[in-house]
Structure 1
Amino acid sequence: MADPITISLDAMGGDRAPDVIIAGAALALQRCPDLRFAIYGRAAAVEPLLRHYAALRDASVLHDCEVVVQMDDKPSQALRKGRWKSSMWRAIQAVRDGEAKAAVSAGNTGALMAMSKFCLKMIAGIERPAIAAIWPTLRGESVVLDVGATIGSDTQMLVDFAVMGAAMARVVFDLERPTVGLLNVGVEEIKGVEEVREAARILRESLQTHFEYHGFVEGDDLGRGTVDVVVTEGFAGNIALKTAEGTARQISEYLRAAMSRTLMARLGYLLARSAFDRLREKMDPRKVNGGVFLGLNGMVIKSHGGTDAEGFASAVELARDMARHDLVLQIARHRIEVAGPEPIRAGALSA
């Protein structure tokens, strides 16, 4: 068996914590026996749950934390009341102190990002973090970023996101030169806001050593898998993510209703059940649950707050894979190789 990997868990984060967190960790452990856990949460709530999962209990250390960051707390409020005491902060701190390789939380996204930036700091030369998601496509999977960390990104941020996303794609998909596209309202070079057009110029002219810049891509290219990495700012990326998840659930409900409407439909479902099961598996948002915080000096994974045990297990397994590949180190090296140690400034690389 491979060397154990310790993941720190914010057991109190999410809509159904700690039940879903503990059940999801137990499921992840079944599938990945090399996992170990540092669990941070209220002992009175977590200990009774661990009694039902003997293997997880034996593979974990529980740290009692009385302070819980609420889902509606403002980031500044969470920092004031949660620093050094909350389950969220201590899970992140375990990564900073080398006690865990990655932290996973289903809690308040804004608070998690604020605490992660404050505790772990940014990789040298990277100004703002991004949340990257693994996106299922007709061609396989793509990396899409940012899906909610930075609203209104400027040119430098978009270029940084491209560099970080390409590094992640190289690790996750084992690609030597992943293709990168900028999400835009059209593929023509004259379209889009100035920041996106300037980022495109820098990527096209100066930053193609470790990846191939494809050009602009549109919304329908995400599902097609036109490129390995799709770069956008957080507002558009988050809307695209939530729209895709909602559409998947909508289609699933349509199919379920159609297959149960008549006797012939039910018979047809039974005859094609294996095909429908594969479709359901492919469209299940839980299978790709987990946003990777890129740009930090430590690995943090954000799970959806309303996910179930299967979804949280997926986030834990993603954290394990990112830690196994030492993604933070790969991004830092990749960025220096591409652009040097200084922040990427518009126009600075084209001379």
Structure 2
Amino acid sequence: MDILATDFLDAFQELDDSQILIKETVQKFVKNNFLPNITDNFEKGHFPKELIKEMGKLGLLGSNLHGYGCAGLDEISYGIIMKELERGDSGLRSFASVQSSLAMYAIYAFGSEEQKKYFLPKMAAGECIGCFGLTEPDFGSDPAGMKTFAKKEGEHWVINGSKTWITNAPIADIAIVWAQTENGIRGFLVEKGAKGFSTPEIHHKLSLRASKTGSLFFDNCKIPKENILEKTVGIKNALMCLNQARFGIVFGVLGAAEDCLNEALNYTKERIMFKKPLASFQLIQRKLAIMSTEIAKGNLVALQLAKLKQNKKIKPAQISMGKQNNVQIALDCARTTRDILGANGISGEYRCMRHMCNLESVYTYEGTNDIHLLIVGQQLTGIAAFE
């Protein structure tokens, strides 16, 4: 069998039959349902909500959670789903990631049995959309400094404050909101339509345009006392959710990187320059070889993290290393492909510029590149340089 450019070390050649079927199913879904309209959707800033229930039918939402209508897949299978969704667009993977690893996982890990039975089956089916409210206008990399405050008043909690850069916010039916209380940071369920709760969309984005992003505003927002996530006991629980999502990013961005490499290969083999294919030039082959090598390394990182996570041995700093490394690989591949394609690289007819713009956001969301390097640095030295 020939060596695959996007899997040069055959890291993904030993998938079992179910994992292969999952990969092929998601690829088909993305190709037939998402890609035909992505250029227009990206330009218009439109997310295709009509695909959400189809994703639910395919078991793509909350896929690595067990019970409550979720598919209960292994961690490699979850990673494959994220990878194939992001091969289509980072915005599509971001939707599934927030729904699954942030909103659903928060309820799954910290919610009451009643909350899990009520929300998770509907969220797995795509009938209820979730978002995750942690980041605030003044507190991004330091979420523990949040100002949003929840106060217990009789049979209700009253929340005041704001969150920003929240994926899915404008279309969400339920928000997982983290707020200070008299007893520390806790998680809350705030449902769409709650008095004093609004979710305005953020416009004029130049990245993740085929994704809905907004803010969460709380003006004496009253929610029932039962809507607290009782098992939450501090910022560490929010960070546990983020680690679930960051793990998915480790796989997801490789889909974008592979798509860019394939585009570069196809383009350079067909593009004639000085009477011969562009692919015949040494500089081009060097760039292609570097991209293939870095993707191969990223594949090994992703699979090793999946094995650690499946065996419940994974550590947050290891996820940080993987997220930082693989996002950098993907962004470099997108930039290199854009460079190789020249002026054509900025056209929506091709995919690399869209991937590149999206990955600029992935590079800094759910922990910036620098913060993840400092997390690894802390693990190495025992010193928290970001405090």
Instruction: Specify if TM > 0.5.
Output: no
**Which structure's relative contact order is higher, taking Cα pairs within 8 Å and 6+ residues apart?**
1
Report the TM-score when normalising by structure 1. 0.29
